[in-house]
Amino acid sequence: MSCGTAKTLAEKQQDALVIKGKVESFSFRYNANIALAEGKTIHLNHSYNLTVSKDTVRAFLPFYGRMYSAPIGSTENGIKFTSTDFEYQVVTGKRPGEWVVSIKTADTGGSISLLLNVFENGTAQLSVTDPKRAPISFDGYIE
C-alpha cells in the first residue's frame, strides 16, 4: 500500500501541456539524478542540472569517464559551462508525448552536443557528446 493519490487523466494532460510549453519556449531546468557512464550507473545526490533559456544554456553536471584532452593544471572534471552561442531545435519524438531537444554549443572551446529526450510526465534522458571526453548520459526530470 502506498500513501498518495494517482493523477487523473486531466491532470496528466495538463502536466504534459506544461512540459511541452517549457520545452518549446526554451525555458526549463533539467535536474539529473542518475549518471550513466562507461557501463556504470551512478546515483547522484547533488543538484546537478542543465538550465536552458532563449539566450543562455548553463550546464552543471558531473563527469565520469575518459577525458581525451584536459587543460593543464585544471582540477575541474565536470561538464560545467555557460553558452550564449548555440543552436536549439525541438522535434516530436517517435512516441506520443515525447519531444527531442537538440542543443549544440559554439562557444565552449569545442562544440558540445546535448540531446535531451523529454517525456510528457516530465522525465527526461540527456546525452552529452564532447570531443574532449567520452560520451555520458543522465536520467532526470524537467523542473
Domain segments of the chain as ranges? 28-142
User: For 20, phi and psi rounded to 5 degrees?
Assistant: -60, -45
Task: Summarize the confidence of residues 1-27 as an average pLDDT.
Answer: 80
Mean pLDDT of the chain: 89
Q: Give the integer Cα–Cα distance in Å for 115 and 103.
A: 6
Q: State residue 36's pLDDT score.
A: 96
Q: State residue 1's pLDDT score.
A: 46
This prediction has a pTM of 0.88
Q: State residue 120's pLDDT score.
A: 92
Residue 139, classified by CB atoms within 10 Å of its CB into exposed (0-12), middle (13-18) or buried (19+), is middle
Q: State residue 129's pLDDT score.
A: 95
Top pLDDT among 1 and 56 is at 56
Q: Give the integer Cα–Cα distance in Å for 60 and 46.
A: 10
Task: Summarize the confidence of residues 27-50 as an average pLDDT.
Answer: 93
At residue 5, does pLDDT exceed 90?
no
Residue 104: strand pairing partners: 87, 113
Stated as kind and residue range, the H or E segment containing 21 is helix 9-24
Top pLDDT among 68 and 43 is at 43
Tell me the CATH class for 28-142.
mainly beta
Task: Summarize the confidence of residues 86-113 as an average pLDDT.
Answer: 92
Q: Give the integer Cα–Cα distance in Å for 20 and 24.
A: 6
Single-letter amino acid code for the residue at 123: T
- Of 64, 62, 67, 77, nearest to 38 by C-alpha is 64
At residue 97, does pLDDT exceed 90?
no
Residue 125: strand pairing partners: 117, 139
- Of 121, 107, 119, 16, nearest to 59 by C-alpha is 107
